[in-house]
Amino acid sequence: MKIFLRCLRMYPKETILAPLFKLLEACFDLCVPLVVAAIIDKGIKGNDTALVWQLCGVLVLLAFVGLGWAITAQYFSAKAAVGSAARMRRELFAHMQSFTYAQTDRMGTSSMITRMTSDVNQLQTGVNITLRLLLRSPIIVFGAMIMAFTIDAGLALIFVAAIPLLAVVVFGVMLGGIPLYRKVQNRLDRVTAVTRENLSGVRPVRAFRKEGSEIDRFAAVNREQTSLQNKAGILTAVMNPVTYVIVNLAVILLIRQGAFAVHEGGITQGQVVALVNYMGQILVELVKMATSIFTVTKAVACGNRIGAVLDMPAGMAVTPAPDGTPIPSADTPAVVFDKVTMTYEGGGAPSLHDISFTAKRGMTVGIIGGTGSGKTTLVNLIPRFYEADEGTVSVFGLPVQCYDPEALRESIGVVPQKAELFKGTVRSNLLWGKETATDEELWEALEAAQAADFVREKEGQLDAPVEQKGRNLSGGQKQRLTIARALVGKPEILILDDSASALDFATDAKLRAALRELAGDPTVFIISQRTSSIRAADLIIVLDEGRAVGMGTHEELLRSCEVYREIHESQFKGGEA
């Protein structure tokens, strides 16, 4: 609810002016039954045709003036709704960008997409309805009751009895609807997740002929969503009949009592018609209110979901360096792992267990192991994408917790396991590594990444288009461009997470030779499934089920580490390359 109110506070002027003009429109609407009563009691009863036409002109004038106020109110309410939704979406996106990897994993991609799109759209509609319709209905309802008292206090008591009954029905349904619509939106996350998973995995789905099972899986979650939507629809459907029954009973009672009052000369026929019109206005407004309340109820539920994301503390805390910490020098190791253990949230066992090693400046460190052995987890601790549960990860003599995350990652170049490129050009993708890089620096990075040749062959070269996810490039080209992107910033630590898997052996060898010649002598971490890619490394770490089962050079590990020897012999059939 606080997010909903926060949206209203973003546009204070519009939040005041929209209901104000709706109030003016409502005042004109409340005058209409009095004019109709005058037409009946004075014009028709007195057979005064001129007066009837004059009063009809007054009705037309009231309609046009009310229309002007309504359009003005709609303008201000739309401005507040669209503007606050845009700000909320921008704030939500910025907050999500500051999430850690662990927080992103916990929240889930599909849930974040739903909150950024569907939830914000529902919130926008709710703000618009609140300012434009929801506040108008109470004005009409209570205004009609007050106007009834100006006509006849005795008959107005019928309004006093009907309105609380209607309020009980409306607000009772609203209180029951908020948790129900929250469940509807939560279930929508699951529908989004299944849809996203199916679209991203469309190739294996078709390759393994699983279209039928995927359709059944989607149908199952869709049925659950439909069931909840039906329950919400039933709750919505109950409100209108109940309100109609209460209002129509009140109208019947009003006509009955009004007939007695007219017979006794207490009020006129026109005044009875005015009272019936006021009751009709109440009926129309309550129907609008019922619809509006369900829209606002969904908006409040969506706002609560958005608020839950915004309330999540984002980012990582920075711990001041201990007193007496020595100033880093040329002899300070680049990376030190000291008895590091790390477990993913919800993981049954540690992904890394008691890892210790030292990587000096300029060293090349190779990391190898079976699938799921913890290779990516290990390198993700260096730029502090995840936190270690036990032990210390130090970079240039300081624990990573002592660095501002952005400052730490400026000195580290990361090439992720999955090559991700963004729609734009070769240049725009490379500038992610360094925004102020010159063309000369870009070509230098491309040369080192063995990507310069194919970029020169493209029309536009650095300005050649790159489609979303690099769809117009081959796997090897995408990997080489992501390596070049990391090299543009001339990082002091370079992490290659199995980023040469799509390269042929010759290109891979040229790439490793170029990395050894990089200016600045960076410390390089290479994750690879090929022993040929890491055999020249100064230190090779062999992982097996999260434990370091071997450390040393290629020759040392062939003699002392059975896991490494098995991997090597499986690739070279027991011999050397």
Amino acid occupying residue 138: P
Kind of pairing between the strands at 465-466 and 424-425: antiparallel
Residues 6+ apart with CB under 8 A from 410: 489
| φ/ψ (deg, to 5) at 180 | -70, -45
For residue range 305-364, what is the model confidence (pLDDT) as tens digits?
888 888 888 777 888 877 656 666 677 888 999 999 998 877 778 889 989 999 998 899
Q: Which domains does the chain have, with CATH numbers?
A: 2-310 (1.20.1560.10), 335-572 (3.40.50.300)
Specify the residue for token string 């369900």: 294
Burial of 449 (C-beta count, 10 Å sphere; 0-12/13-18/19+):
buried
Q: Which residues of 373-412 are buried (b: 16+ CB within 10 A; e: fewer)?
A: bbbbbbbbbbbbbbebeebebbbbbbbbbbbebeebbebb
Q: What is the C-alpha separation between 92 and 311, in angstroms, rounded?
A: 10
Residues 6+ apart with CB under 8 A from 23: 136, 139
pLDDT for residue 70: 86
SS3 316: coil
Give the pLDDT of the chain (577 residues) as one tens digit per residue. Answer: 677 777 778 888 888 888 888 888 888 888 888 888 888 878 787 777 888 888 888 888 888 888 888 899 889 989 998 988 888 888 889 888 888 888 888 877 778 888 888 888 888 888 888 888 777 878 888 888 888 888 888 888 887 888 788 778 877 777 777 677 778 877 877 888 888 788 878 888 888 888 888 899 889 988 888 888 888 778 777 777 887 788 788 888 888 888 888 877 778 888 888 888 887 787 777 777 777 777 887 788 788 888 888 888 877 788 887 765 666 667 788 899 999 999 887 777 888 998 999 999 889 999 998 888 888 889 999 998 888 888 999 998 888 888 888 888 888 988 888 888 899 998 999 998 888 888 888 999 999 888 888 888 888 888 899 998 888 888 888 888 999 999 898 888 999 888 877 777 888 888 888 888 888 788 999 988 888 888 888 899 999 888 888 999 988 888 888 888 888 888 776 444 4
Q: What is the DSSP letter of 576?
A: -
Q: What is the C-alpha separation between 387 and 316, in angstroms, rounded?
A: 9
Contacts 24+ apart (CB under 8 A), 157-164: 158/250, 158/253, 158/254, 158/257, 159/250, 159/278, 159/279, 159/282, 161/250, 162/246, 162/247, 162/249, 162/250, 162/279, 162/282, 163/282
Amino acid occupying residue 478: K
For residue range 263-303, what is the model confidence (pLDDT) as tens digits?
777 788 888 888 888 877 877 777 777 777 778 877 887 88
| φ/ψ (deg, to 5) at 539 | -145, 130
pLDDT for residue 33: 83
Q: Does this model's pTM top 0.85?
A: no
For residue range 500-514, what is the model confidence (pLDDT) as tens digits?
777 778 888 888 888
Burial of 553 (C-beta count, 10 Å sphere; 0-12/13-18/19+):
middle
Specify the residue for token string 């996203």: 196
The answer to whether residues 338 and 354 touch, using CB atoms and an 8 Å cutoff, is no
